Amino acid sequence: MTDMISCEEVFEASAQERAELNVWCDELEAEAVIAQDEDLVECEGCGEQWYRPEGHTGATIDWCRKCYKNDPYYV
């Protein structure tokens, strides 16, 4: 039978390795935020941010789901 060792137990012994891991995790998180922001577009109708529709290349969209549903002619 093997003992299960958690990530926390591995880094308890070495503060330097734990600090290196924290720096690496912070870098990954920053990259993910930048990538997510690149996928957002702003609605010209209400100003909210939405994920970029597939195939859309601009930084803004004319209308979004919220604007469309608030249209009095929407059935």
pLDDT (0 to 100) of residue 55: 81
Cα radius of gyration rounded to whole Å, the chain = 22
Its pTM stands at: 0.45
For the stretch 42-54, pLDDT in tens is: 888 888 888 777 7
Per the prediction, the chain carries an average pLDDT of 78
DSSP 11: H
DSSP 19: H
Contact indicator for 11, 17 with CB cutoff of 8 Å: yes
Domain ranges of the chain: 14-69
Residue 62 above 60 pLDDT?
yes
Residues of the chain with pLDDT > 70, as a percent, come to 76
Residue 29 above 60 pLDDT?
yes
